[in-house]
Amino acid sequence: MMGTIILIVLLVAVVGGVALMLRQKAAARQRELENAQADARRWVERLGGQVINLVGSNEASQQALADASERYTAAGSQMEQAKSTEQCALVTATAMEGLYYVRAARTAMGMDPGPELPDLNGQSRAGSVGEDRQIELEGRQLAASPNPGEQTPHYYPGGEVAGRPVPQGWYSEPWWKPALVAGAWGMGSALLFTALFSGMMGVPDVVVVEAAADENGDDSGDSGGDDSGDSGDSGDYDMSDMGGDMDFDIGME
């Protein structure tokens, strides 16, 4: 009889311990989600402050602010639906991309761009346009430059587009947008990459190599084949650390 009572007590203790552990884990997950939501919301608000307070003074800054406003709208919509830490991370990434466009707009207007922002989506691997270049491709005149200008009013913050690295810089047209929307590059895109970026200062050879490999269906050009080419690693960052260490001054002039 005594043995049965002891067994029952032990079972009750185990069940109670498991229930307590589950409640603690649920509470920890809820706190983590609330912190992620608060951090994401803060970045959206900072982007919104810049978008609302800045007015472009030339074509390049106006275009960059239009792109920033687009990211602000997208981040706001994502924020309303963010019910997990992963979704909150997506909100933060979208808002952060918008802030890159804000920095570009401020640069185009001759203003202080503000503090540096974390690497997004493989920017460091994609490199950046380091020299002025103009090409003619299939009847189109395309230009790239490290600086905004009348010929290069379209900015891209750099990173992975449809699995391919696109360098940060200013361009004559947003030639990457079709791939961004469709999720895949069209035929002849390798020729564009080769003509525009081959041998360019600031642009790694991998930008051209991967484009050519994709065009030829060669798996050796797949960035997933080498750890150094893993865009997920190169673009990864801690959202909570970022929020605590950085201060993006909305009132910068």
> Domain segments of the chain: what residues?
33-109, 127-230
Give mean pLDDT, residues 222-246: 39
List, in order, residues 6 or more apart from 133 with CB less than 8 Å away.
Answer: 143, 144, 145, 196, 200
**What percentage of the chain has pLDDT greater than the value 70?**
84
Rounded Cα distance between 191 and 214, Å, is: 11
What pTM was computed for the model? 0.76
Q: Residue 173: which pLDDT band, with cuts at 50, 70 and 90?
A: very high
Q: How does the average pLDDT of the chain come out, rounded?
A: 84
3-state secondary structure at position 135: strand
- In order, the DSSP letters of 130-185 are -S-EEEEETTEEEEEESS--SS--EEE--EEETTEEE-BEEESS-TTHHHHHHSSP
Q: Which H or E run includes 158?
A: none
- For 40-72, write each residue's pLDDT tens digit: 999 999 999 999 999 999 999 999 999 999 999
Q: How many CA atoms lie within 13 A of 14 on its CB side?
A: 6
The residues pairing with 135 across neighbouring beta strands, listed in sequence order, are: 142
Q: Taking 70 as the threshold, does the pLDDT of residue 229 lie above it?
A: no
Residue 232's pLDDT is 37
**What is the per-residue pLDDT for 217?**
63
In angstroms, how far apart are the furthest CA atoms of the chain? 94
